[in-house]
Amino acid sequence: MLDVCDPQVMRGLLAEFGFHFSKSKGQNFLTRRWVPERIVRESGIDRSCGAVEIGPGFGPLTQELCLHAGKVVALELDTTLRPVLEKTVGEFDNLDLRFTDALKADLPALVNEALPGLTPVACANLPYYITSPVLTKLLESRCFAAVTVMVQKEVALRICAKAGSPDYSAFTVLCNYYAAPKLLFDVPPSCFMPQPKVTSAVVCLKTRPQPPADIADEALFFRTVRAAFAMRRKTLLNCLSAGFPQKSKAELTEIMQSVGIAPTARGETLDIPAFAALSNALR
Ligand code: SAH
């Protein structure tokens, strides 16, 4: 197996295939073998798992996944990586490599078709320009038992934030609605080529079989959350009033009080059960 994390090997591949890193495709490739090793180890991926990887790049995580998972489906947008990946991961017969846009993929169909009989998991060093849409898509697809991703540290902290903390956001609520996120470890800029400006971190999101609260109407729940976070410095009452213009402030105050939320509260202090109670009362 070619050590694609070895800077000398990487430089060789760059020269042999005339490959240039694309900033617009979010290409920062791993140059330290311990990173993919630790990602796969700490996410607990074994032969019973079928892994979907997004953005293999030169294939360091792909190699590690192929060594440990039952099967790997890797989705890569950049077709100029085809000959490189042929050389770096072509030897694995449990790999199904597809050149396609992960944002446009039908993930439940892919999992059904390509990973039958295996526990589906997603694992990726995500291209940072599409972190939230990709992670949202992976979670909303409801077809993975766990999603382990490397993201910017700042995003990792937002995903794992507690209600009331400055990092708590609508994205925190979305991630915690579908999964129980856990911060695994940091990865400094020196572990990549080219080096990004910021520190990265790996997060493992174990998906929940049931939402963490009783929610009568999922769409209304997310509409309530979006409204609450739409204007950060306004009270929850003003945010709800802007998000639900058909309801008067008096009505909204009464609804909030009926579920024990003070009219002066701010949206970012509500945890998921509180948002659930509020959205159920708004029906
Ligand atoms: N996993 C590799 C590369 C990470 S860089 C490593 O850790 O070294 C991110 C990768 O995602 C790049 O290979 C980039 O081409 C790919 N990518 C970017 N947008 C994508 C998309 N929409 N769908 C699939 N892959 C994408």
Pick from 203, 191, 197, 115: nearest CA to 167? 203
A 10 A CB-CB count for 182 gives 16
For the entire predicted model, the pTM comes to 0.96
- How close is the Cα of 73 to the center of ligand 1, in Å? 14
Among 22, 27, 79, say which to mutate for ligand 1: greatest number of ligand atoms within 8 Å of CB.
Answer: 27
Pocket of ligand 1 (CB under 6 A): 25-30, 54-58, 60-61, 75-78, 101-103, 125, 127, 130
Question: What is the whole-number distance in angstroms between the Cα of residue 70 and the centre of ligand 1?
Answer: 22
Ligand 1 mean position to 78 CA, how many Å?
8
**For residues 272-282, average pLDDT:** 98
CA atoms of 236 and 142, how far apart (whole Å): 30
Q: What does the alpha-carbon distance between residue 169 and residue 30 come to, in Å, rounded to a whole number? A: 29
Cα 142 to chain centroid distance, Å, stands at 13
Measured in Å, residue 195 CA sits from the centre of ligand 1 at: 15
pLDDT band at 85 (very low <50, low <70, confident <90, very high): very high
Residue pLDDT, tens place only, 222-276: 999 999 999 988 999 999 999 999 999 999 999 999 999 998 999 999 999 999 9
- What is the number of the ligand 1 atom nearest to the C-alpha of 25? 18
Is the bond preceding residue 273 a cis peptide, omega within 30 degrees? no
Nearest-atom number in ligand 1 for the CA of 55 is 11
Each residue of 61-76: b (16+ CB within 10 Å) or e?
bbbbbbebbbbbbbbb
Q: Give the C-alpha separation, 94 to 79, whole Å.
A: 21
> Over the stretch 192-227, which tens digit does the pLDDT of each residue have?
999 999 999 999 999 999 999 999 999 999 999 999
73: helix, strand or coil: strand
* pLDDT for residue 241: 97
Residues with Cβ within 8 Å of 248's Cβ and at least 6 positions away in sequence, in order, are none
pLDDT of residue 150: 98
Measured from the CA of 57, which atom of ligand 1 is nearest?
13
Residue 223, helix vs strand vs coil: helix
User: Ligand 1: which atom is nearest the Cα of residue 62?
Assistant: 1
Cβ atoms within 10 Å, residue 231 = 14
Residue 270: predicted pLDDT: 97
Domains of the chain: 7-207 (3.40.50.150), 218-282 (1.10.8.100)
